[in-house]
Amino acid sequence: MTTPDPERASAARSFYSRWAPGYDYLATHAPGVRCLRTALVDALDPARGDTVVDVGCGTGATLPYLRERVGREGRVVGVDFAPGAVARARARVERAGWTNVTVCRGDATRLPLDGADAVAASFLMGMLPDPAATVEGWLDALGPTRIALLDLARSHRRPGRSLNPLFRVVVRASAPPGTAEHHGESPARVLDRRVAAAHRTVLKRCTGTTHATRAGGFAYLSAGRR
C-alpha cells in the first residue's frame, strides 16, 4: 500500500473543504447525477434494516438515497476526510431530522467496518493514493457484505470519447494543486489509473459482480458481494 504523504493529505483536506460549497451544488444538481446515485444504490442493493457506510460521503448527496433504502430501522454512516464537506453533510442531516444517519470525519484507508452490511463509495477512488489496496482492506475487514463503487474517468465509448479533451480540462481544474507535478502525468491519467485499479479489485475479489458504464461512458459502476 502506498504510504500517504501527510503534507499532501493536509493540502487535499484544505482544498476539498474550500471547494465544498461548489461541490455540493454539482453533487446534487449536475445533469444526470441523481440517476447515477440511484444506480449506485440499486447496484449496492441494501436491505431494510441494514447498516450502510458511505465512504467519502462528501457533502452528503448520497445519504438520502441510502436512508430511503434501509428505512428508519436501518442506519447510514457517512465518512469523509474534509472538514468542510463533513460540516455540510451534518447540516444536511440536521435539516432533514434523520436520527439514524451519522456523519463523521475519517480516513478511507483506516475504517472500522465491523457490523457494516454494505459499503458504498461515489467519486472517491481518484482521490486515494492506492485505491486498490484500500478496497482490498475494506473487503478483508468485511464479512458477507455488499460493496459498490461509482466513479468518473475518461470514456472509451462513442460519443463520449469525443468529449475526453473537455473532461481532461475539468479534471485538471478540480484536482488539488500540484497533482500533475507530483505524479509526473496529467490528473486525468492519474484518475483513469486509480479508478481502473479499484474497480478491477471489486470484480476480482467479489462474487455476483456487476459492472456498467453510464453517462456516455464517463461513469463507472461496479458492485459485488464479499
Residue 131 scores a pLDDT above 80: yes
Give the H or E element holding residue 120. strand 118-122
What is the distance between the alpha carbons of residues 98 and 110, in angstroms, rounded to a whole number? 26
Q: Where are the chain's structural domains?
A: 6-225
What is the distance between the alpha carbons of residues 20 and 89, in angstroms, rounded to a whole number? 10
Fold of 6-225: Rossmann fold (3.40.50)
CA distances, 176 to each of 30, 179, 219 (Å): 21, 6, 21
pLDDT over 70 percentage in the chain: 85
Q: How high is the pLDDT of residue 5?
A: 59
Mean pLDDT of the chain: 88
Q: Tens digits of per-residue pLDDT, 17-75? A: 665 666 666 777 677 899 999 999 999 999 999 999 999 999 999 999 999 999 999 99
Q: How high is the pLDDT of residue 67?
A: 98
Phi-psi region of 178 (alpha: psi -120 to 50; beta: other; left: phi over 0): left
Q: How confident is the model at residue 184 (pLDDT cuts 50, 70, 90)?
A: confident
CA 108 to chain CA mean position, Å: 10
What is the distance between the alpha carbons of residues 113 and 140, in angstroms, rounded to a whole number? 10
What is the distance between the alpha carbons of residues 16 and 48, in angstroms, rounded to a whole number? 32
What is the distance between the alpha carbons of residues 80 and 122, in angstroms, rounded to a whole number? 11
Q: Tens digits of per-residue pLDDT, 72-109? A: 999 999 999 988 999 999 999 999 999 999 999 999 98
What is the distance between the alpha carbons of residues 118 and 42, in angstroms, rounded to a whole number? 12
Contact between residue 84 and residue 17 where contact means Cβ atoms under 8 Å apart: yes
Radius of gyration of the chain from Cα atoms? 16
- Bridge partners of 149, per DSSP, are 121, 222
- Interval 138-145 mean pLDDT: 85
